């Protein structure tokens, strides 16, 4: 009964979304006031029914109702409750339902915090979000219904992939989805602006905090995924340029560009087509990412077609959503004339470089990700593109980006001079150059230009950002949150860059065979193996090794790398033993038994690896601070910023108050 209620509520939510998608938009174009006013209640109604639907599926998972096919395929009674819950979004159907629910949640949030938005604009924004929701729910109901029942009820369900039975990964997908779907707000604003034919500063002001929050979630989601891969996969890697990772990285890069582009459009009424295009691309890449990863086209060309019905639906959906927005862009973009010119040396130019580099980076990742498909299409066999391709393109682009970033803080809008910039930045520039050359010589004896570049980028961004705060000459308590957010986020980026540089160049890794009582030395640490014992936990059995780490005879820590066996799926899981530190991680993965009391181990010394994720946390925190800035909540009475000619003709901006 409960699953049927869930199914029914989903159909009701779809009906509400159709109403939300059609009537307010139509009303806004034909001047029917009562249709326009349907937008808000519809947004709340859609969320209401989707929450019911989601709760019903959740209930089926918690009580292990194996008469529901999706539950039986992804959950079993051996798993602890928390993983029975996260199993809901562990596979295709449930994750789409989560997506749809989060989308309606963002819609309802826009409706709730919509005080400053003119009703016509709001109705269009909510209509667009409603239409996207229609597509999603149709997809769920027609091709991927999670509430489908089984005629023969199994006694026990199948196993959720053991890799996914981990807390980090249990909360990773919802985080990412919050980010993906959050980009739909900027997208809907962009679409509404193009329908209305105007893009003014007030529009941008509304869209900025939403974009920041979405970006924050994406940042946390990606950092979490990377951290999970590090401790769970047992290879000590933190990024693999895997299609699934790339799918989340692309919207993040575009989102980063969008945040900067929005700033220009708000302050200078320029970069309008950039802002619109990036809004469209950000959400399009989110859609592409979700769908392609879920349907498997990226991991393997073949699984894409394993359900042609689904694949076709996906293509049609992408075609309608992305295609229609790009068609609208093609015909309407010229109307959004940017006014205000800027010279070669100006903050606008700096941010233009930022936009172009980030867009090229995204195209690089997209190309590398789809390359296997392209090669296959050309009939040249199956090839996948590895880290060498990505690194060789992304690293040089990154170096240019970071170099410009440091100057960007100090650049003035519209027109600036090289002399003035150098006057502002020579101290951080010199200090970071000295630091980059001297620090490596003090710690490691040999010279490596890569280290110098990485350290320079990191210290240059950090010092330049700090210098900027000092030059503002204001009390730190009076500095707006947005400025704090920006400084913190950029320092976070610097930390990540330093972490990536150092761990890539100086990590040590060794496969060793150790008998009980033997030890191995690496980077000044002594790893003593004290034996393996087997134990059994709720959802797995494990061999658990004990390893005592000492440095110069001093006890540092005792760690317990494990090899876990989740039974059903034959792949054993590695749970690495990690001693985390601010300047280094010691990482031990347990391998195979090699006869009498001997086991193989993989031991890593990873300097500064934690900085990668700490930087990610700082970036996300910075984004959050910026989103909470009071400035965005205080709407001006009348839009004073320049309004371009097309918008002055349009009715849209007429009644803007409070």
Partner 1 sequence: MNKKFFIPLAAFMALIGLMLFGLSNDPKLIPSPFIGQSAPKFKLPRLYKPDQTISVEEMKGKVWVLNLWASWCVSCRAEHAVLTRFIAKEKVPTIGLNYKDYGTEDYGNDAVNWLSRLGNPYYAVAVDTKGMAGIDWGVVGVPETFVMDKKGIVRYKFTGPVYQQAVDDILVPLVEKLRKEEG
Query: Which residues sit at the interface with partner 1, rule CB under 8 A?
Result: 154-156, 158, 273, 277, 280-281, 284, 297, 301-302, 304-306, 308, 311-312, 315, 318-319, 322-323, 326-327, 329-331, 333-334, 370, 373-374, 376-377, 534, 541, 543, 565, 567-568, 570
Nearer to partner 1, 301 or 505 (CB): 301
**Residues whose CB is less than 8 angstroms from the CB of residue 276 and which lie 6 or more positions away in sequence, other chains included:** 190, 193, 194, 199, 329, 333, 336
With the C-alpha atoms ordered 609, 613, 616, 617, is the resulting torsion angle positive or negative? negative
* CA separation for the pair 549, 533 (Å, rounded): 18
Nearer to partner 1, 160 or 229 (CB): 160
Nearer to partner 1, 379 or 553 (CB): 379
* CA separation for the pair 11, 236 (Å, rounded): 45
CB of 537 to partner 1, least distance (A): 13
**Residues whose CB is less than 8 angstroms from the CB of residue 175 and which lie 6 or more positions away in sequence, other chains included:** 217, 220, 221, 224
Residue 149 DSSP one-character state: B
CB of 352 to partner 1, least distance (A): 15
* CA separation for the pair 82, 166 (Å, rounded): 9
**Residues whose CB is less than 8 angstroms from the CB of residue 611 and which lie 6 or more positions away in sequence, other chains included:** 495, 496, 498, 499, 502
* CA separation for the pair 272, 47 (Å, rounded): 32
* CA separation for the pair 409, 37 (Å, rounded): 43
CB of 143 to partner 1, least distance (A): 14
Q: Evaluate whether 580 touches 590 at the Cβ level (below 8 Å).
A: no
Q: How far apart are the first and last CA of the chain?
A: 48
* CA separation for the pair 627, 214 (Å, rounded): 10
CB of 654 to partner 1, least distance (A): 27
Nearer to partner 1, 372 or 615 (CB): 372
What are the tokens at 160?
């959720």
CB of 158 to partner 1, least distance (A): 8
Nearer to partner 1, 126 or 321 (CB): 321
Inter-CA distances, 121 with 39, 192, 203, 279, 651, Å: 11, 7, 9, 16, 10
Nearer to partner 1, 476 or 567 (CB): 567
Nearer to partner 1, 534 or 648 (CB): 534
Q: Which residues sit opposite 550 in a β-bridge?
A: 526, 555
What are the tokens at 295?
């349907």
CB of 166 to partner 1, least distance (A): 20
Q: Evaluate whether 264 touches 355 at the Cβ level (below 8 Å).
A: no
CB of 332 to partner 1, least distance (A): 8
CB of 121 to partner 1, least distance (A): 23
Q: Which residues sit opposite 565 in a β-bridge?
A: 541
CB of 299 to partner 1, least distance (A): 12
CB of 60 to partner 1, least distance (A): 19
- Residue by residue, DSSP assigns 69-83 as HHHHHH--TTS-HHH
């Amino acid at each position: 009964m409960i699953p049927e209620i869930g199914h029914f509520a989903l159909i009701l939510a779809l009906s509400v979304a159709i109403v939300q998608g059609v009537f307010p938009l139509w009303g806004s174009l034909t001047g029917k006031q009562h249709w326009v006013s349907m937008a808000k209640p519809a947004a709340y109604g859609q969320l209401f029914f989707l929450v019911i639907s989601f709760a019903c599926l959740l209930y089926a998972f918690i009580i292990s109702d194996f008469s529901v096919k999706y539950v039986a395929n992804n959950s079993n009674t051996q798993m602890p409750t928390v993983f029975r819950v996260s199993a809901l979004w562990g596979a295709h159907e449930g994750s789409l339902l989560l997506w749809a629910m989060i989308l309606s949640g963002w819609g309802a949030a826009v409706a709730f915090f919509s005080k400053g938005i003119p009703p016509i604009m709001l109705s269009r924004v909510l209509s667009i979000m409603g239409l996207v929701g229609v597509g999603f729910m149709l997809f769920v109901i027609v091709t991927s219904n999670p509430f489908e029942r089984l005629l023969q009820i199994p006694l026990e369900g199948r196993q959720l992939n053991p890799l996914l039975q981990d807390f980090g990964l249990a909360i990773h997908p919802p985080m990412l989805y919050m980010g993906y779907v959050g980009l739909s707000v900027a997208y809907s604003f962009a679409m509404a602006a193009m329908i209305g034919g105007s893009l003014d500063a007030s529009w941008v002001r509304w869209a900025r905090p939403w974009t920041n929050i979405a970006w924050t979630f994406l940042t946390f989601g990606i950092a979490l995924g990377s951290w999970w891969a590090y401790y769970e996969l047992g290879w000590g890697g933190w990024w693999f340029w895997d299609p699934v990772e790339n799918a989340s990285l692309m919207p993040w890069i575009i989102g980063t560009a969008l945040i900067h582009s929005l700033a220009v459009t708000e302050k200078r009424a320029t970069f309008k087509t950039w802002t619109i295009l990036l809004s469209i691309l950000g959400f399009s890449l989110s859609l592409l990412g979700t769908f392609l990863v879920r349907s498997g086209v990226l991991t393997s060309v073949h699984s894409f077609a394993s359900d042609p019905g689904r694949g076709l639906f996906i293509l049609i959906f992408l075609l309608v959503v992305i295609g229609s927005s790009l068609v609208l862009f093609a015909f309407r973009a010229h109307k959004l004339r940017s006014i205000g010119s800027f010279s070669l040396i100006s903050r606008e130019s700096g941010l233009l470089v930022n936009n172009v580099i980030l867009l090229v980076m995204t195209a690089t990742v997209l190309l590398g990700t789809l390359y296997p498909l392209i090669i296959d299409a050309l009939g040249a066999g199956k090839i996948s593109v590895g880290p060498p391709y990505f690194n060789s393109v992304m690293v040089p682009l990154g170096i240019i980006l970071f170099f410009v970033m440091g100057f960007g803080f100090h650049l003035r809008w519209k027109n600036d001079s090289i002399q003035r910039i150098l006057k502002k930045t020579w101290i951080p520039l010199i200090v970071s150059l000295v630091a980059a050359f001297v620090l490596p010589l003090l710690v490691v004896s040999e010279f490596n230009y890569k280290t110098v570049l990485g350290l320079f980028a990191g210290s240059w961004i950090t010092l330049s950002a700090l210098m900027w705060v000092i030059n503002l000459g204001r009390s730190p308590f009076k500095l707006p949150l947005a400025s704090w957010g920006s400084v913190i986020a950029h320092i976070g980026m610097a930390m990540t860059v330093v972490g990536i540089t150092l761990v890539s160049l100086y990590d040590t890794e060794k496969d060793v065979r150790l008998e009980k009582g033997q030890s191995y030395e690496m980077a000044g640490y002594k790893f003593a193996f004290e034996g393996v014992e087997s134990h059994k936990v709720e959802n797995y059995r494990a061999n658990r090794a004990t390893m005592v780490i000492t440095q110069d005879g001093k006890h540092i820590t005792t760690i317990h790398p494990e090899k876990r066996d989740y039974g059903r799926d034959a792949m054993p899981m590695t749970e690495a033993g990690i001693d985390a530190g601010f300047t280094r991680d010691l990482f031990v993965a347990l391998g195979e038994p090699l006869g009498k009391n001997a086991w193989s181990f993989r031991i890593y010394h990873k300097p500064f690896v934690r900085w990668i994720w700490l930087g990610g946390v700082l970036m996300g925190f910075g984004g959050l601070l910026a989103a909470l800035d009071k400035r965005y909540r205080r709407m001006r009475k009348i839009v004073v910023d320049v309004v371009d000619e097309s918008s002055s003709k349009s009715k849209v901006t007429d009644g803007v108050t409070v």
